[in-house]
Amino acid sequence: AGGLLLATKHDLAEQVDKLLERRKKRTLSQAALETLAIIAYRQPITRAEIEAIRGVNVDSMVHTLLQRRLIKISGRKDVPGQPFMYRVTKQFLNHFGLRDLGELPKIDEISQALAEAEGEEDDEESASIPVSPEEAEAEIAKGAETEEETED
């Protein structure tokens, strides 16, 4: 009905599946995105500093982000043990459609948006609380009594 159908030969199905599987693996987990955000806003930053903020081990997240070239090692911190410091790459900027880090949303803007979103969720939850028919009738009757009192 006027549409377009994209198809492949049956004998190429395995290659298409592999391609799609690779594409699925490109999406970042919530934990990886959180780790990436911390690095973007606090760079240069060490793994221990990231873990102090997140409260969990970030070894696998840092490894994944390095493999995908979204972060890079930018040197060593001048403290005992000289841990690596990490920062985001140009590929990070390209991936998220940014020209530079100045285009990242400000922290207070993010906090405000989160607070507003939580407020909307609270409103939705309170509006969708199930009420028994008896409770609903009692509320309606109470409202009618209040209207009669105001009319007098």
Query: 46: which strand partners?
Result: 85
What's the predicted TM-score (pTM) here?
A: 0.61
Give me the count of residues in the chain: 152
Identify which has the larger pLDDT, 81 or 6. Answer: 81
pLDDT digits (tens, 9 = 90+) for 9-53: 888 888 887 776 665 556 889 999 999 999 999 999 999 999 999
Within the chain, all domains assigned CATH 1.10.10.10 are found at 8-103
Evaluate whether 81 touches 47 at the Cβ level (below 8 Å).
Answer: no
The CATH number given to 8-103 is: 1.10.10.10
Asked if pLDDT for residue 114 goes beyond 60, the answer is: yes
pLDDT digits (tens, 9 = 90+) for 51-91: 999 999 999 999 999 999 999 999 999 999 999 999 999 99
Burial class (CB in 10 A: 0-12, 13-18, 19+), 75: exposed
